[in-house]
């Protein structure tokens, strides 16, 4: 595919305005997309358009960054581009991705190799492990009994969004007024996305700082959003993004992240005696075990089971040292972190 690049440049002169490395990177991404499609039979590559709301391209080589002048030097930009630096770093620049958002903002995401190895994983112990059950009414329930509120960011702007979208549809296609209203709607969506991302960062940061082992479910969110009654609420909660944040932050800090299977009966299993309630419905937020009589909170019970299933999956066994639970003060620290950072 890359061998056709010379012929394409002769046919389309505008391709000469872009550096060859970026074009090769785009062809490589296209090749990867087709390979993934033929392997999984899902997600056929979509044709790109210069009119798409989100645009991006990669520069894998010949990129320089001047911290003093706050300028980014890319191929075809000899004078450099003035930027706002978020932070300084040391290391080798591998790839720079330039992207434009629907609100017409430009960002440069820089991939850097700092040549530092990841820290070794901390030992798995029951007292420093936590199980997390995510939900809609409550965003997350921890196995130690704490509940994290679901702020439902899109609900706060839903009424305004509906009104703006009605106004947008009345505008003539291709008109400047329609473009202005499209940008206004994009700004509201961007604010919601930023609020959600900020909240999830704070929650995941607090959890990975306080616990050495995090246990979660491997949820098939693509299948779950097919339910038209819950699709918007599931998407707004950001479970997939939350899982991604937990994974890479655990890697950074040398913490353990254990995932259990999607079909593990974490909600239907009694965390006290191990009995199963096959008739449990989604609307049942509390239930009583018919075998031992324990009254269980659905979310808390699931979080405790997720922790137990995950620890059993790793072959972890209780020792005499582990049975003597030390007073680590984790509960107070986590609560204050959630209260200060997430509320």
Res. 258: pLDDT tops 60: yes
Domain ranges of the chain: 1-47, 50-116, 126-152+192-341
CB-facing half-sphere around the CA of 228: CA atoms within 13 A: 0
E strand segments, the chain: 55-59, 64-66, 71-74, 77-82, 92-100, 106-113, 129-134, 138-142, 147-149, 213-217, 256-260, 286-288, 295-297
Cβ-based burial of 126 (10 A; exposed 0-12, middle 13-18, buried ≥19): middle
Residue 327's pLDDT band (boundaries 50, 70, 90)? very low
**Is the pLDDT confidence value at 263 over 70?**
yes
CATH code of the region 126-152+192-341 = 3.30.420
Q: Which tokens sit at 241?
A: 């993004």
Q: Are 280 and 326 in contact, with CB atoms under 8 Å apart?
A: no
Cα gap 294→143, rounded to integer Å: 17
CA distance 91 to 269: 49
Selection from 107, 108, 106, 110 nearest residue 95 by Cα: 110
Mark 293-323 as b/e (b = at least 16 C-beta within 10 Å). eeebbbbbbbbbbbbbbbbeeeebeeeeeee
- Which pLDDT tens digit goes with each residue over 290-307? 888 888 888 999 999 999
Give the residue numbers annotated as catalytic, written as ranges. 133, 217, 299
Residue 335 pLDDT class (50, 70, 90 cuts) = very low
Q: List pLDDT tens digits, range 49-87.
A: 877 778 898 999 889 999 999 999 999 888 899 999 888
- Residue 191's pLDDT is 94
pLDDT of residue 106: 93
Residue 333: is its pLDDT beyond 70? no
pLDDT digits (tens, 9 = 90+) for 140-160: 999 999 999 999 999 889 999
Partners of residue 147 on adjacent β-strands: 141
């Amino acid at each position: 595919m890359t061998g056709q690049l010379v012929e394409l440049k002769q046919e389309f002169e505008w391709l000469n305005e872009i550096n060859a490395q970026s074009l090769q990177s785009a062809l490589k991404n296209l090749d990867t997309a087709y390979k993934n499609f033929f392997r999984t039979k899902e997600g056929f590559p979509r044709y790109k358009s210069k009119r798409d709301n989100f645009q991006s391209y990669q520069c894998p080589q010949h990129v320089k960054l001047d911290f003093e002048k706050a300028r980014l030097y890319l191929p075809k930009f000899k004078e450099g581009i003035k930027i706002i630096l978020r932070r300084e770093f040391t290391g080798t620049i591998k790839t720079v991705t330039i992207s434009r958002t629907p609100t017409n903002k430009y960002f440069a995401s820089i991939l850097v190799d700092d040549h530092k190895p990841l820290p070794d994983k901390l030992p798995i112990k029951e007292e420093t492990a936590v199980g997390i059950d995510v939900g809609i009414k409550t965003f997350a329930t921890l196995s130690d009994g704490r509940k994290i509120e679901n702020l439902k960011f899109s609900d706060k702007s839903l009424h305004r969004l509906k009104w703006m979208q009605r106004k947008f549809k009345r505008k003539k296609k291709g008109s400047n007024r329609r473009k202005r209203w499209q940008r206004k709607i994009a700004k509201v969506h961007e604010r919601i996305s930023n609020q959600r991302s900020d909240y999830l960062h704070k929650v995941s940061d607090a959890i990975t700082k306080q616990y050495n082992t995090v246990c979660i479910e491997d949820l098939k969110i693509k299948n779950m959003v097919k339910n038209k009654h819950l699709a918007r609420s599931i998407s707004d909660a950001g479970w997939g993004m939350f899982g991604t944040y937990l994974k890479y932050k655990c890697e950074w800090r040398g913490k353990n992240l254990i995932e259990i299977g999607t079909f593990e009966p974490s909600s239907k299993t009694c965390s006290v005696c191990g009995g199963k309630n096959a008739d449990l419905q989604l609307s049942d937020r509390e239930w009583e075990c018919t075998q031992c009589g324990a009254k269980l909170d659905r979310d808390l019970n699931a979080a405790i089971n997720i922790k137990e299933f995950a620890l059993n999956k790793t072959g972890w066994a209780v020792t005499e040292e582990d049975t003597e639970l030390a007073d680590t003060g984790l509960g107070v620290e986590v609560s204050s972190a959630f209260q200060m950072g997430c509320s």
